[in-house]
Amino acid sequence: MRFSGEGSRVPLKVALFSYRGNPFCGGQGVYLQNLSRALAERGHQVHIFSGPPYPGPMPWATTHLLPNENFIVRPARHFPLRTIIQPLSLLEYALARAGANPEMMTQSFRLYGLLRRLHAREKFDVVHDNQSLGYGLLLIQRLGIPVVATIHHPLAIDRQEDLRQMEGLLRKARRAIYYPPLMQALVARKLQAVITGSDFVGSLIEEHYRLGPGRAERIYHGVDCAFFRPIPEIEKVPGRLIFVGSTEDRKKGVRYLLEALASLAAAVHLVIVDGRRYPGRVYARDLIAKLGLGERVSWRERISNEELVQEYNRAEAAVVPSLFEGFGLPALEAMACGLPVVATSAGALPEVTGPDGVAALLVPPADPEALARAIRRLLSSPSLRRQLGGQARRRAEQNFSWAKAAAATEAVYVQVRRDWRAPY
C-alpha cells in the first residue's frame, strides 16, 4: 500500500462521481451513499455527481444530477430530434445502437463539462470516480484537479462470464462489444490513485490494467452494524433462504442457486431481493419456470433498507452463489444481521466471511450439488446456524465499518494532493 499517512487536518472539498447513483443499481450505489456520508461525518464537503438511476436524498452532500437518455434500453422514437442531435447524445445513440454501453464514457464527459464551470467557484480538492474510468477523467486532470478512482472489479470479468453463459452467436457478438475494458485500462493507468475493496481485486486489476504491483490501494468497504442488526422479535420462517443481488448479472450465480434449490426438499424456499428493473427481464424467471420452482421462489423488488433488514431476519440462511465477487456487500449485510451464510469461495468472498466455518459455509463456485449439501447441512442444524450467525455478527462488527473506509480514503486524498503534479 502506497498511502498509509495521516488524514486531513482541514476539511476537503470532494467531488464524488458515479455514473449510476441509486443503491438499487448495485454495489456502486451503496458505496456512493455510505462513503459520502462517512466522509461528511469526518467534516469534509462532499459534492455528489450522479447519472441515473439517481440516488435518493442525501442531506449530508450537495447533489448534482447528470442527464442520460438511456438509449441502451429506450428507442430513439421516445426522444425529440433536438435531444438526439446534441453531440454527446448523438454519440450515445450511435454507440448504443451498435450494441456498446457508452454511459461510462459519456457521463465522464458530462462531468468534465460541469466541473469546468463549477471549479472556479468551488475549488475542488479531489475528484473521486466510482468505477466509470471514462476518458473525461483525463480532461478533468487538465483542470488541475487530482483524480482518484475506485474500481470494484475489471469489466473484462463481466464480459467473460456473460459470454460463457449466453447462447447464440449474435447475442455473444453483441455482448463482446458491450463493455469498455480497454478504455478503463487506459484511464486507470493515468490516474493519481486507484482504490479497490479487496486484496483479490487489487491484484486482479494490477494485472488486467497493467498498473504494477502495489499500485491499487486496498480499502475494505463497510457496513452499518447499528442498522443491519439481529432483530430477535422477528420470527424466523422455517426453510427460508434469501438471495440479494441482480438476477440478470451472470456473475451472481443465480442459475446454480436455483439448480441447488430444485434438489432440496420442497419445504425449502427462496426469497429473491433484486432492486433493479430490467426491460424484458427473463433470465432468472425462465430458469425458475424450467426447473418447476414457481411456488418456491418469491420476489421482493425495490424494498427499503428497513424492509431489507427485516427480510434478512426472517430467513434462516443467506446464500451468495457468486462466480466472482469484488467484495460481497450482501454477504456482509447478512453477517451484520447475525445470519449464517452459504457462499462460494469465489473472488473476495473469503476475505469478507473468513475461512470456511467462521461466518459461512464455503463451497466451490458453479457447483449446485455442493451448494445444496451446504444448505441442507445448515438448515438441518439449529446449533450450527446459531454458531455461525454469532460469529458472523462479531466479524462484521470487528472488521468492517464505513468510518474506517472513509478514514483510509481520506488518507489517499491527502497523499494524492501532496504528490499532485498536473500531468499535461
pLDDT digits (tens, 9 = 90+) for 54-103: 999 999 999 999 988 776 666 555 666 666 667 787 888 788 778 888 99
Cell for 98?
451498435
Contacts of 408 (CB under 8 A, 6+ apart): 3, 217, 219
Per DSSP, which regions of 66-151 are E strands? 126-130, 147-150
Burial class (CB in 10 A: 0-12, 13-18, 19+), 180: buried
| Confidence (pLDDT) at 75 | 59
Positive or negative: CA dihedral 193, 330, 322, 198: positive
Whether 10 has a pLDDT exceeding 90, the answer reads no
CA distance 317 to 340: 5
Phi and psi at 194, nearest 5°, equal: -125, 130
Per DSSP, which regions of 24-141 are E strands? 45-50, 62-65, 126-130
Give the percent of the chain with pLDDT over 70. 91
Contacts of 44 (CB under 8 A, 6+ apart): 8, 11, 12, 13, 14, 410
Cell for 246?
441482480
| Confidence (pLDDT) at 74 | 61
340-359 pLDDT, tens digit each: 999 999 999 999 999 999 99
Instruction: Specify the range with the lowest mean pLDDT, choosing from 87-91, 232-236, 283-287, 290-294.
Output: 87-91
Q: Report the pLDDT averaged over residues 118-129.
A: 97
| Confidence (pLDDT) at 100 | 83
Whether 4 has a pLDDT exceeding 90, the answer reads no
Sketch out the chain's domains with CATH numbers.
13-222+402-419 (3.40.50.2000), 240-399 (3.40.50.2000)
If you average pLDDT over every residue of the chain, what do you get?
A: 91
Whether 371 has a pLDDT exceeding 80, the answer reads yes
Closest listed residue to residue 317, CA positions, set 241, 374, 245, 256: 241
CA distance 198 to 325: 10
Upstream peptide bond of 59 is cis (omega within 30 degrees of 0): no
Is-contact 219 405, C-beta < 8 A? yes
| Confidence (pLDDT) at 141 | 96
β-partners of residue 49 are 17, 64
CA distance 48 to 53: 13
Q: Give, in order, the Cα–Cα distances in Å from 195 to each of 206, 213, 406.
A: 11, 13, 12
Positive or negative: CA dihedral 273, 275, 281, 283: negative
